[in-house]
Amino acid sequence: MRIDARGLTFDVHAGPEGGPAVLLLHGFPQHSGEWGDVTPALHAAGLRTYALDQRGYSPGARPAAVEAYRLAELVADAVAVLDALGVDAAHVVGHDWGAVVGWALAAGHPDRVRTLTAVSVPHPAAMAHALANDPQQKARSAYMLLFRQPGKAETVLLALKAAGLRRMLSGVGDADRVAAYAEPMRAPGALTAALNWYRAMSRTDLAAVGPVAVPTTYVWSDRDIAIGRTAAEACAAQVSGDYRFVELAGVSHWIPDAAPAPLAEAILVRAGG
């Protein structure tokens, strides 16, 4: 389905009708398809899923200005989509950048979030703590310096039929799955819009995300090349509500693709609890 909100048109992939709502927020450089192996278990449990192609990923929601991708705009999109769907409050699940939106949504609009399951990326304050105290986390996050360079990042990632992008996505699975994420990024303006999330990112915006009071699960994998243990374990201090930390051993950053069954279980435990 397509949802008109805030002057933009978002693509939303909805699950079976009826049951509590689950809002699924994808990360970079993927799209709502990353939830394809997770949702069957959620549907079987009676949940109604809404997998959103977020700002910059939905072709009808791709503004040109970098400032249009600030965190407040991304959160406002999620709220507006819930409004358009007639959903007062949802179980929110976010991976990677979708997790950042989920943290900010739960902190700023707790009335709209029944529970939060954040996947891979911890609360922004936990990430800031790790960057200030863990040299390894600084090294893990160095890729963002490239992503924030207009033009250069696109050239590096899209050269040779997006070889760099495909290499980055290699952990999601076979060549067909890699292509399912890489090919949409080759459309004119698509990768730039996705990278604008990084270019609009500011310490001020991230620091404004307060503690989360809603029941929260954070799912982290010990082979995540982007997020180390210091950041993962610092997350607990940013949640005042019921909190659960789920560590997946031997799994890469791409948890929804690489470990859909344990992720679905974590979501169901949280949503059912």
Residues lower than pLDDT 70 in the chain: 273
Give the whole-angstrom CA distance, residue 183 versus residue 187.
Answer: 7
Q: What is the pLDDT of residue 271?
A: 95
Q: What is the pLDDT of residue 273?
A: 64
Q: What is the pLDDT of residue 272?
A: 85
| Edge-to-edge strand ranges of the sheet holding 2-5 | 2-5, 8-14, 48-52, 21-25, 90-95, 113-119, 216-223, 243-252
| 213 phi/psi in degrees, rounded to 5 | -105, -15
Q: What is the DSSP letter of 24?
A: E
Domains and CATH numbers, the chain: 2-272 (3.40.50.1820)
Q: What is the pLDDT of residue 84?
A: 97
pTM of the entire predicted model: 0.97
